[in-house]
Structure 1
Amino acid sequence: MYISERIKRVDRFYGKIGLTIGNFEGHHRGHAEILGSLVNESRKRGLYSAVITFKEHPLKILGGVDPEKLWAPCEKIYSFKKAGIDLLLYIDFTKNISSTLPSDFLHDLDVTLKPKLYCLGSSFRFGKDNRGDVKLIEQLSGKFQFDLVPVDDVLFHDSAVSSTRIRQAVKSGNIELAGELLGRKYFVHLIGKPEDPFTLEPFISNYALPGKGLFSGKLVCLKTNESSMENLKIKGNCFQSENMKRYRAGYLYKYYFFSNIDNKHGQKWV
């Protein structure tokens, strides 16, 4: 997978790509549907598959609100490679991007990348004041000579799967629902706290986390690849074993949430 940190012409891909655009936080089931469609539809046309995504959430740039993260940046990049994407444009979201008229934005992409296919979620919005949508892209497809494949939202219990819905589930302690929406176990990276061998803390700031509670899951030490089933108590940003197990200071761990034990005991979400 070729990675660029800006939108630029790359001769190998120019005029030979299918493209999708989005933040893709967490790579949930809806994202998987879009990326799977992109890869398949691109291959049918003899095209490379390409993604434009952002280093920071657009809301952080536009409104100073930074939604909680569903994974580390390295996981986001790896997910595109795993999905079979050929070209990743991993760029900074800027106010200039948000203030560009939708038609101008598509023109700029045509000049720089010349996509032959757009594969986008049906609720995709872009450009100044979010005026751009799939309907506008379809209207401009003849002018810029590309195909459009819209992808319907993936529904779970009659509501669309979204990163916002997953954050809400995690923060309320409904880890099982978060896993259903993601299509995988929700996980976080933790690090052994140097001054307290009984405590793990989040490796990156602003993770989406339950506020408190007792959870079952699988803990993997990434340095030694040792793994074990662990019940961890969470309070704020502190994770501790139910049995007061000691952890190695500075070691990086990955914790896969399986279930909320408090909820299984009949208590309400915490």
Structure 2
Amino acid sequence: MQVYRSIDQLPDFKNSVITIGTFDGVHQGHQKIISALKKEAAKMQGESVIITFHPHPRRIVNPQYHLQLINTLDEKIDLLRQAGIDHLVVVPFTEDFSEQSADEYIENFLIKNFHPASIIIGYDHHFGKDRIGNYKLLEEKAEHFKYNLVEIPQHLLNEIAVSSTKIREAILASDIVTANQLLGYSFSFEGTVVQGDQLGRTIGYPTANLQYTDEDKIRLGHGVFAVYAEVAGIRKKGMMSIGTRPTLNKSEEKVEVNIFDFDDTIYGQKMRVTVEHFLRGQEKYLSLDVMKDQLHKDKERSLQLL
């Protein structure tokens, strides 16, 4: 898959079959659109092209809106590459771009840059200044600009919307089993390893304290999880705690990962955490010794599950 982060140096696409969207999560509902895109491209003897935007349009149109994206841009790119798309065009979404009229969007953006043989789009797709443009306008222009217009069925669009909502709700509620089932892969996130209070080391469970690297990405709810941790090219089993550490009477949320059979110094490095299983909720223990016994049980269960 070729990735373009600008529209200034796009190739001459061959019979391009395009679809447009944020594709946040690239989950199983999205995979049905991707499958239709690839099928149409094969029929047209052309190339499959996904057009997406960065930053998310809502960040520009409504800066106060709190985004909770399932994927970062880099994660989305990796997932779409795995899906077997020919081209991904990441269009920089700016205020100027959002000010285009619907007609300008079609002629100066879609036709000029992509020369589409087919456009696959939903009935509820809106574009152009004040979101005036819609499926009907694309339909009216199809004969003049010589493209086929393929409608994504309403039931599939509803399925995608429901799935995306359920995935976000599951992640926030620490229901990682449901989230991973709907995604079709295991949810992950990235953090930078920062200095902690090193309490874990004193009880035999040293942890890497993480600071999230992307403010717009959704965050997992509180709990203890069985995970895979990847840092400096090494992937290991581990367990993770997200919460306020009630045993220590703390209130600040901490993300701590205990990596099994690993004792390298990794401060300042980025870690990718893949979340596989929910072990338990936050608990307050009478003493550090009681907490240590529970951590031993958590580790044993993690090793069984991973």
TM-score (norm 1): 0.82
Deviations 1:212-241 (A, max 9, x none): 222x23222232423214243334652224
Query: 8 Å contact 2:193–2:267 — kept in the other structure?
Result: yes
Seen in structure 2, the aligned counterparts of structure 1 residues 45 and 243 have a Cα distance that, compared at 3 Å, is closer
Q: Which of 254, 264, 270 in structure 2 is aligned with 1:238? A: 254
Q: Which of 219, 222, 225 in structure 2 is aligned with 1:209? A: 219
User: Secondary structure of the residue that 2:255 maps to in structure 1?
Assistant: strand
Equivalent in the alignment of 1:252 = 270
Q: CA deviation at 1:166?
A: 2.8
Q: CA deviation at 1:242?
A: 7.2
| Structure 1: gaps spanning 5 or more residues | 266-270
Q: CA deviation at 1:86?
A: 2.1
Query: 8 Å contact 1:188–1:202 — kept in the other structure?
Result: no
Q: CA deviation at 1:102?
A: 2.1
Letter in 2 for 1:223: A
Identity across aligned pairs (percent)? Answer: 23
User: Secondary structure of the residue that 2:223 maps to in structure 1?
Assistant: strand
- Displaced runs of 4+ in structure 1, greater than 6 A? 242-247
Seen in structure 2, the aligned counterparts of structure 1 residues 129 and 169 have a Cα distance that, compared at 3 Å, is farther
Count the aligned residue pairs: 260
Deviations 1:57-90 (A, max 9, x none): 1111011024023233222222222222222221
Alignment of 1:102-121 (within 5 A): 102-108=102-108, 109-121=110-122
Equivalent in the alignment of 1:268 = none
Q: Distance in 2 between matches of 1:80 and 1:142?
A: 31
In the alignment, structure 1 residue 44 sits paired with structure 2 residue 34: no
Alignment of 1:155-166 (within 5 A): 160-162=162-164, 164-166=165-167
Alignment of 1:55-94 (within 5 A): 55-64=54-63, 65-94=65-94
Equivalent in the alignment of 2:27 = 28
Q: CA deviation at 1:243?
A: 9.7
Query: 8 Å contact 1:29–1:154 — kept in the other structure?
Result: no
Deviations 1:157-192 (A, max 9, x none): x97222x54333322323233223322221111332
Q: CA deviation at 1:10?
A: 3.9
Q: Distance in 2 between matches of 1:242 and 1:195?
A: 13
Higher helix share: 2
Equivalent in the alignment of 1:182 = 183
> How much is the aligned-residue C-alpha RMSD, in angstroms?
3.0
Higher strand share: 1
Seen in structure 2, the aligned counterparts of structure 1 residues 155 and 242 have a Cα distance that, compared at 3 Å, is farther
